[in-house]
């Protein structure tokens, strides 16, 4: 406790927004771990980035309509997953083409909706909230939605875990074991869409890719199996969010006084630090890549 008092400004543990942010952030980080692990193993980090811009479109549309950003994040994320799944191809080149087309369309609509929301409504901070998040401003009323979506997505990933892993490692091997590629692709895209939508609620749509990919990439360096890599990814994500919350809370006493630095900046910075630490040379025999 004395260490926490030395690191954090007074009132950290008694602040309701801080407690809500810490609990919500932990739930989001844990949910992002398996989805991010599959994204890295499939070599589809570009698709994860595309989802962040797709959710930005939904968040900006929600700001224009005057509804919760989470509604827009989820609606557009799942719609994008359906579109990418319907138009997707099994080969990497085909997937990249579909992702690029979807990404371009999403950015165009996001720019339009953000322009309209800032010029025709009084939501002057909508752009910052949608793109870079506002974790301290997230209401506890979002908990039922987050819990329901998180639980449903976790059940989906656990139920399809082995087919998803086989598809990530080798589509040909997955087909030989009777895995239906379209079904595995749909399950993967849906899990990523929900994970990115919830990450956008915490660190913003633009930075949500870092929370999805960074901890999982580090986890694959540290874990000998997919389950251990997933546990490492969840732990790194939670620690990045919690330490980011502490630093953001402390920053209210930093210049400019009384303003505070964004939580998302600290979270992404810590994710990068953990990723670099995971790549430091280690003594002993070289660890093998994670296998199912």
The pLDDT profile of the chain, 292 residues, written as one tens digit per residue, is 444 555 566 667 677 888 888 888 888 889 889 989 988 888 877 777 778 878 888 888 888 887 888 888 888 888 888 877 776 655 555 566 766 777 777 778 877 887 787 777 665 566 677 777 777 777 777 778 888 888 888 888 888 888 888 887 777 777 777 778 778 888 888 888 888 888 888 888 777 888 889 999 999 999 888 889 999 999 999 999 999 999 888 887 787 766 778 888 899 999 999 999 998 876 655 554 555 4
Query: What is the CB neighbour count within 10 angstroms for residue 226?
Result: 24
**CA separation for the pair 82, 257 (Å, rounded):** 46
Instruction: Write phi, then psi, for 284 (nearest 5 degrees).
Output: 95, 180
Residue 106 is assigned to a structural domain of this protein? yes
Q: Tokens for 83?
A: 């579109």
Residue 241 is assigned to a structural domain of this protein? no
Total domains, the chain: 1
pLDDT of residue 236: 95
> Which residue segment(s) compose the domain that 171 sits in?
12-205
Residue 233 is assigned to a structural domain of this protein? no
Residue 135 is assigned to a structural domain of this protein? yes
Q: How far is CA 148 from CA 43, 67, 137, 142, in A?
A: 29, 19, 21, 10
Residue 212 is assigned to a structural domain of this protein? no
pLDDT of residue 115: 78
CATH of the domain at 112: 1.10.3470.10
pLDDT of residue 1: 46
pLDDT of residue 190: 87
Residue 217 is assigned to a structural domain of this protein? no
Residues 6+ apart with CB under 8 A from 219: 33, 37, 228, 229, 230, 231, 232, 233, 234, 236, 278
Residue 72 is assigned to a structural domain of this protein? yes
pLDDT of residue 44: 78
Residue 264 is assigned to a structural domain of this protein? no
């Amino acid at each position: 406790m004395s260490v926490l008092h030395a690191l954090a400004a007074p009132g950290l543990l008694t602040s309701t927004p801080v407690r809500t942010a810490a609990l919500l952030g932990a739930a989001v980080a844990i949910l992002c771990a398996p989805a991010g692990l599959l994204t890295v193993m499939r070599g589809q980090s570009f698709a994860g980035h595309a989802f962040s811009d797709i959710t930005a479109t939904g968040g900006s549309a929600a700001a224009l309509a005057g509804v919760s950003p989470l509604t827009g994040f989820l609606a557009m994320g799942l719609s994008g997953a359906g579109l990418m799944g319907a138009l997707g191809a099994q080969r990497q080149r085909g997937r990249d083409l579909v992702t690029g087309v979807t990404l371009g369309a999403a950015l165009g609509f996001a720019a339009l909706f953000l322009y309209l929301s800032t010029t025709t409504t009084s939501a002057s901070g909508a752009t910052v909230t949608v793109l870079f998040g506002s974790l301290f401003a997230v209401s506890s009323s979002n908990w039922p939605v987050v819990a329901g979506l998180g639980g449903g997505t976790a059940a989906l990933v656990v139920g399809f875990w082995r087919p998803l892993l086989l598809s990530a490692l080798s589509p040909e091997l997955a087909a030989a074991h009777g895995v239906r590629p379209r079904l595995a692709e749909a399950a993967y895209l849906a899990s990523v869409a929900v994970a990115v939508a919830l990450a956008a609620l915490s660190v913003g749509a633009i930075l949500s890719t870092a929370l999805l990919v960074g901890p999982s990439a580090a986890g694959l360096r540290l874990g000998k199996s997919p389950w251990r890599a997933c546990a490492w990814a969840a732990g790194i994500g939670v620690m990045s969010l919690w330490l980011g919350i502490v630093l953001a809370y402390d920053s209210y006493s930093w210049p400019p006084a009384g303003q505070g630095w964004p939580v998302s900046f600290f979270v992404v910075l810590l994710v990068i630090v953990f990723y670099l630490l995971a790549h430091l040379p280690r003594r002993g025999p070289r660890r093998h890549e994670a296998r199912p």
